[in-house]
Amino acid sequence: MSTVMICWGMGEGYGHANKIACVTGGLEATGLHVVIAARDRRLMEGVARRRGLACEVVQAPVLPATRSPDVATVFYSDLLLSRGYSDPDRLVEAIAGWRALFEQHAPDVIAFEYAPTAILAARGVDTPRLGFGTGFYYPPAPLPRLIPEHMTGSGVAHDAGYDTALESVNQALHASGLTPVDGLEAVFDPGPVFITGAPEVDHFGHIRRDGRYTGPVSENLSPGSALEWPQGKGPRIAGYLKAGAPGIERVLLRLNRVRARFVLHLSPKKGERPEALARRLPRSTNVQITLRPFDIDAMARQASCFVCHAGNGATIASLMAG
């Protein structure tokens, strides 16, 4: 039986896990064996179990954050430097971890969802490779800004971290016995890329010249699990929010002043147990907060508005629901 390894090394949340699970289901239906190297193994295992998948889930090498989250992320170099790429030694360890997984599982195909370090580690590996996911994971060359210049001011016009990040990458590649790269663009270039969306919701659809768009891949949190709306009057508002977002408590406390009915899924911040989160949530008759994922498609179709942190999957699901 042929094996496909799916690599998820950066980013958090249901969007990654559900997209991977959807792709895995399609691969398994054709008789392929799937190994998922997941950044969040526990989350991925839970999603795979709910969907009845037979895949194997293993822990992916994870680089620790090395910069304060308060530092502005304007360029892709800022993103990489804040996610461990400022430390070549740690990067060497992560590359070694990925290569050990490739050797152990001997996949016939390596697929990357959002895994720049795995892309680096796969250099020199004689295995077909491809990438899939949102356009953000695979920016066109030269690397575009993440925040437009008019939103940052002229003082942030130069990508000051580019050379620093590139030097760190090449130091790590050299130490790993791999060929250095000419630019940071290689970190996001796995080979053929399939963007799970459409140009209109691609972060760089306006400048990408050769995008292969698959259309939306279902990232529904829990298909078939719709919830009852609170009693009362006013429009119905559904949402998927993250408990670790700044100011989320203040937002939730003010919802009881809004003349509307809310059903919100709130995902715990990393390291927080759901029961601990439940104890600190405000109570309100017009707001139903659930810690269990619900059927985004069904709830969005019933709602007048959908509120989220602009994650690609939830955004597309709400738009398609009208």
pTM: 0.88
pLDDT digits (tens, 9 = 90+) for 184-223: 999 999 999 999 988 998 999 999 988 899 988 866 666 6
Contact in structure between 146 and 218 (CB atoms under 8 Å): no
- pLDDT classification of 72: cutoffs 50, 70, 90: confident
Average pLDDT over every residue of 35-46: 95
pLDDT digits (tens, 9 = 90+) for 89-102: 999 999 999 999 99
Angle at 10 between CA 51 and CA 16, to 5 degrees: 25
- pLDDT classification of 267: cutoffs 50, 70, 90: confident
Contact in structure between 34 and 42 (CB atoms under 8 Å): no
Between 71 and 244, the more confident residue is 244
Angle at 98 between CA 92 and CA 101, to 5 degrees: 140
Within 10 A of 309 (CB to CB), how many other CB atoms are there? 13
Contact in structure between 114 and 135 (CB atoms under 8 Å): no
pLDDT digits (tens, 9 = 90+) for 115-132: 999 999 999 899 999 999
Q: What percent of the chain has pLDDT over 70?
A: 91
pLDDT at 274: 61
Between 37 and 318, the more confident residue is 37
Whether omega for the bond prior to residue 144 falls within 30 degrees of 0, making it cis, is no
Residue 69 reports pLDDT greater than 60: no
pLDDT at 254: 86
Exposure string over 171-188, b if 16+ CB within 10 A, otherwise e:
ebbeebebeebeebebbb
Average pLDDT over every residue of 42-70: 89
- pLDDT classification of 252: cutoffs 50, 70, 90: confident
What the chain holds in terms of domains, given with CATH numbers, is: 3-201 (3.40.50.2000), 236-320 (3.40.50.2000)
Within 10 A of 134 (CB to CB), how many other CB atoms are there? 24
pLDDT at 219: 60
pLDDT digits (tens, 9 = 90+) for 164-180: 999 999 999 999 999 99
Q: Considering the chain, what is the average pLDDT of its residues?
A: 89
Contact in structure between 185 and 197 (CB atoms under 8 Å): no
Contact in structure between 9 and 60 (CB atoms under 8 Å): yes
Cα–Cα distance list, 216 to 135, 199, 202, 285, 314 (Å): 12, 11, 11, 35, 11
- The packing angle between helices 312-320 and 14-29, to 10°, is 70
Average pLDDT over every residue of 276-302: 82
Query: Is 162 strand, coil or helix?
Result: helix
